[in-house]
Amino acid sequence: MILVAIAVQGEQPKGIAVVVFVPYYKYSVFYHLEGLPPLCLLHGKDDELVPFNQRVLLDQELTRRGMPHEFYAYEGLKHYFSTSADSATTQQMFQDSLDCLRRFLGD
């Protein structure tokens, strides 16, 4: 396997090298936005697998392109919402999901 360093969108912290394995690079959502239906983006600010700034960048790109979407961010949530959220945050996330879907899909 060949390891190739590829620049990703957004500012990277100084001293941090960003390395992406080429076989997985093609799966970045930034290269598959055309034709997507409206999106409901939900992201925990403490996500340990997908950096929160990547969702912020996606939100900005969708806005720039005029693509319909809603972006929700949750304090204290990690990648696996159900195991890291308190009940109030979990209930808010579920309500936001339903509200977003209703707005995009209708009642």
Domain residues of the chain, as ranges? 34-105
Whether this model's pTM surpasses 0.75: no
pLDDT grade for 88, boundaries at 50, 70 and 90: confident
Helix (H) or strand (E) holding 104: helix 87-105
At 73 the three-state DSSP class reads: strand
Of residues 101 and 5, more confidence is placed in 101
pLDDT band at residue 28 under the 50/70/90 scheme: confident
Tens digits of residue pLDDT in 36-70? 899 999 998 988 888 898 899 999 999 999 999 99
CB 74 within 8 A of CB 93: yes
- Return the structure tokens found at 54: 């990547």
Calpha distance 107→101 (Å, rounded) = 9
From residue 7, give the alpha-carbon distance in Å to each of 4, 11, 27, 31, 101: 10, 10, 15, 14, 34
Q: Is the pLDDT of residue 107 over 70?
A: no
pLDDT at position 82 is 66
Mean pLDDT of 18-32: 66
Residues 6+ apart with CB under 8 A from 43: 50, 52, 55, 71, 72, 73, 74, 77
